[in-house]
Amino acid sequence: MPDEPGKDDEHNVSDFEMEAKLRRVAEAIVEAAKSQGNVPGGLLRLAADVLEEAEVPWEQELSRKAQNLAGKQQGKFDRAFHKPYILQGAVGYGHGKPILPSWYKPELKVDFVIDTSASMCDAEINAAKREVRAIIDAVGGEIYFVSADSIVQTEGKARFVEDITLGGGGGTDFRPYFDSLATRRVDDKPNIIIYATDGFGSAHPTPPRGIDTIWLGIGENSRRPRNAENWGEFIQVKEQRAKHG
């Protein structure tokens, strides 16, 4: 159409961004119907169809897991004893002296890991990649992105989808990624892990300490990884969403 933004125009939006806008409009329509009761039935049905198709369960789970951290980000702080408070010198150091904790402001740090093993077909990889933008939007900033098969293939910080690179195509083993967390600095470790996978591989029998994990099932046959039946949340991406990828 005349004056419509082109592909390279900064005002142009991707299919996913358009889907997100449609979802927000649909949510507003449903909310208006609840509070005002004067929304035409046809419009309400269209809104319901959009919401049913665009529902992303993992976002609700991520929101639930991040609730406490988000509250702290809005002004609440936690005590920490790994380093002394700035006024510790006023009361002294050593035996019999009280330890004054320092205060820190927790941050929401998310690792998003894509299983790039041979069992993940192109459609499933694309479906997993599709979630990257949504996760970045949900976090409200930067994430740490990892691709892994039987080893960690690529990793690094990502603020945009274009920042990610993929590597892999071998066997499936979830343990090397979790083992790699031990080599990360304390302030660089995640407090939430989202692992996109079909689940056909082995994990450790115990979760990483102090870190919440979401197994994001990709594909209609996805499942919990072996040995992870009792830890982490398993959420399957809806099939129709994966088809959009």
Alpha carbons 13 and 5: distance in angstroms, whole number:
9
Helices (H), the chain: 15-35, 41-54, 57-73, 88-91, 122-139, 175-180, 239-244
Q: Is the pLDDT of residue 128 over 90?
A: no
Q: Is the pLDDT of residue 64 over 90?
A: no
**56 confidence band (pLDDT: 50, 70, 90):** very low
Q: Is the pLDDT of residue 195 over 90?
A: yes
Residue range 103-121: mean pLDDT, rounded = 82
CATH assignment of 110-244? 3.40.50.410
pLDDT for 106: 57
Beta bridge partners of 30: none
pLDDT tens string 129-167: 877 877 887 777 789 999 999 999 999 998 887 888 889
More confident residue, 85 or 45: 45
Q: Is the pLDDT of residue 92 over 90?
A: no
pLDDT for 11: 59
Q: Is the pLDDT of residue 209 over 80?
A: yes
Residue range 42-66: mean pLDDT, rounded = 62
- Cβ neighbours around 213 below 10 Å, total: 22
**57 confidence band (pLDDT: 50, 70, 90):** low
Alpha carbons 124 and 120: distance in angstroms, whole number:
6
pLDDT for 41: 73
pLDDT for 18: 67
**Token pair for residue 53?**
């198709």
Helices (H), 74-174: 88-91, 122-139
Comparing 83-87, 149-153, 193-197, 213-217, the range with the smallest average pLDDT is 83-87
Query: Structural domain boundaries of the chain?
Result: 15-52, 74-106, 110-244
The percent of residues above 90 in pLDDT, for the chain, comes to 27
More confident residue, 161 or 195: 195
- Average pLDDT over all residues of the chain: 75
> pTM for the full model?
0.61
Highest mean pLDDT among 44-48, 94-98, 111-115, 212-216: 111-115
pLDDT for 59: 62
Read off φ and ψ for residue 238, nearest 5 degrees: -60, 140
